[in-house]
């Protein structure tokens, strides 16, 4: 099938093709970016500890979302490594000593590929803001490079923390969203059965900035409750996506780790409602 899929394949056409041959494996969410969402039964949670040989690499494991992913994975008994340009985390908590911290830049050289050794699954939390070309590079090119290297090394599963469409903001932050979608498309091609794309809106929780902790939950948590009630408005074109409810960083981390290690977690796009639903499962 990969010969049929060339680099300009869109998400919609891929899922239409995949859906026709593999209906029943993709998680249906309320994302509007797939032409025909495929409704299926959700997988049952497998609550067994992972095999001791499972090793998770978190790309951007010292960032806001990445550090929560590392912590969640350690709690689940995984062997955990992180790769980022600055390497070690500034987090002074005991769990951080149990992460293998690698330093490397996905956009430069190839020595960072050593971090892929023995890795069975990856969660990528690499992304960022800046000029349009920088945003494309960091959200798109850096992740595409990682996805290709991971596929070549035989990594089994790859989870990408992407982002929900945000209506009019898509035009203002064009490099950010173009980069996200380009990385998603590469993931579909290289990991047709081992990919999961998380598309949260605003993620809240305690974000560390230098030595300070910003409690983003003060805004995010009440907003999440309000916007959960405003679901019908989210269908309104352009403005609707701005009403995507925020989601707690611990929920994103929980779903990311499960998607990375649970072999029956269906491949596909998981939108904010999917993230909330999966995170509430035991
Ligand atoms: N926070 C939100 O509200 C939100 C909402 C929706 C989606 N997301 C997405 O979720 C992901 C994580 O967001 P976040 O808020 O946790 O961001 P963050 O705190 O800025 O973390 C980004 C991580 O990527 C690493 N990184 C950046 N460029 C790299 C490169 N070239 N090579 C290796 N590592 C690199 C950074 O570490 P170094 O700087 O040390 O390299 C950092 O660990 C991003 O993709 C973001 O777009 C976030």
State percent of the chain over pLDDT 70. 69
Question: Taking the chain, what is the end-to-end CA distance rounded to the nearest angstrom?
Answer: 36
User: Is the whole-model pTM more than 0.95?
Assistant: no
Q: What is the pLDDT of residue 206?
A: 76
Which of 62, 65, 70, 147 has most ligand 1 atoms within 8 Å of its beta carbon, as the pocket-test mutant? 65
Whole-number pLDDT of residue 168: 76
- Location of structure tokens 């494996």: 25
Convert the pLDDT of each residue in 114-159 to its tens digit.
999 999 999 999 999 999 999 999 999 999 999 999 999 999 999 9
Q: What is the mean pLDDT of residues 69-91?
A: 94
Report which secondary-structure segment, H or E, holds 127: none
Distance CA 92, CA 227 (A): 34
Candidates 185, 249, 261; CA nearest to 214 is 249
**CB-CB neighbours of 265 under 10 Å:** 22
Question: What's the 3-state SS for 181-245?
Answer: HHHHHHHHHHCCCCEEEEECCCEECEEEECCEEEECHHHHHHHHHHHHCCHHHHHCCCCHHHHCC
Tens of pLDDT, residue by residue over 47-67, are 666 666 789 999 999 999 999
Under CATH, what is the fold of the domain 2-10+51-280?
Rossmann fold (3.40.50)
For residue 6, the model assigns a pLDDT of 40
From residue 89, how far is each of 53, 77, 97, 116 by CA, in Å? 24, 20, 9, 19
Confidence of residue 7 (pLDDT cuts 50, 70, 90): very low
pLDDT one-digit tens code per residue, 149-161: 999 999 999 999 9
Provide the pLDDT for residue 19: 45
Best of 31, 57, 126 to mutate for ligand 1, by most ligand atoms within 8 A of CB?
A: 126
pLDDT, tens digit, for every residue of 240-261?
A: 555 678 999 999 999 999 999 9
């Amino acid at each position: 099938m990969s010969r049929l899929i060339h680099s300009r394949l869109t998400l919609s056409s891929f899922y239409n093709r995949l859906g026709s041959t593999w209906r029943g494996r993709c998680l249906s969410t309320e994302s509007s970016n797939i032409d025909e969402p495929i409704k299926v039964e959700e997988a049952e949670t497998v609550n067994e500890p992972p095999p001791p040989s499972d090793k998770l690499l978190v790309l951007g494991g010292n960032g806001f979302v990445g550090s929560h992913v590392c912590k969640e994975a350690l709690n689940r008994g995984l062997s955990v490594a992180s790769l980022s340009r600055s390497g070690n985390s500034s987090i002074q908590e005991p769990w951080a000593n149990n992460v293998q911290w690698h330093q490397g830049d996905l956009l430069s050289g190839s020595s960072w590929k050593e971090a892929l050794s023995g890795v069975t699954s990856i969660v990528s939390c690499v992304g960022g803001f800046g000029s349009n070309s920088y945003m494309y590079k960091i959200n798109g090119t850096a992740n595409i490079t990682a996805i290709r290297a991971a596929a070549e090394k035989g990594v089994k599963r790859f989870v990408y923390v992407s982002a929900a469409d945000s209506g009019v903001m898509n035009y203002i932050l064009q490099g950010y969203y173009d980069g996200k979608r380009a990385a998603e498309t590469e993931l579909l091609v290289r990991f047709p059965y081992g990919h999961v794309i998380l598309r949260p809106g605003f993620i809240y929780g305690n974000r560390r900035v230098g030595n300070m902790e910003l409690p983003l939950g003060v805004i995010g948590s009440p907003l999440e409750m309000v916007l959960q009630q405003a679901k019908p408005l989210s269908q309104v074109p352009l403005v609707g996506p701005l009403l995507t409810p925020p989601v707690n960083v611990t929920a994103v981390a929980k779903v990311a780790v499960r998607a990375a290690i649970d072999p029956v977690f269906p491949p596909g796009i998981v939108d904010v409602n999917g993230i909330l639903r999966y995170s509430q499962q035991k």
